[in-house]
Amino acid sequence: MRSILALSVFTAATLFAQPTPEPRTDVSNKALITKSRPPVKAGSDAAALRKMADDFYAWRNENYPVGSSDAGLHTWDNRLTDYSAAKVAERAQHIRKLLEQVRALQTATWPKDDRIDWLLFRAQLEGLAFCNPKALTRSST
pTM, entire model? 0.62
Chain centroid to CA 34: how far?
A: 16
- The reported pLDDT for the residue numbered 42 is 45
Bin 112: left if φ > 0, else alpha if -120 < ψ < 50, else beta: alpha
Amino acid of residue 78: N
Which of 12-26, 55-69, 81-95 bottoms out in mean pLDDT, i.e. has the lowest? 12-26
- The reported pLDDT for the residue numbered 5 is 63
- CA dist 81 and 101 (Å) reads 25
| DSSP notation for 26-51 | --TTSPPTTS--PPPPTT--HHHHHH
- The reported pLDDT for the residue numbered 140 is 37
- The reported pLDDT for the residue numbered 70 is 87
First-residue to last-residue Cα distance in the chain: 51
What digits encode the pLDDT tens for the residues 5-42? 666 666 665 556 555 556 555 555 555 444 455 554 54
Does 71 have pLDDT greater than 80?
yes
What digits encode the pLDDT tens for the residues 91-134? 999 999 999 999 999 999 999 999 999 999 999 999 988 885 54
- CA dist 97 and 125 (Å) reads 10
Residues contacting 51, CB < 8 A, separation 6+: 40
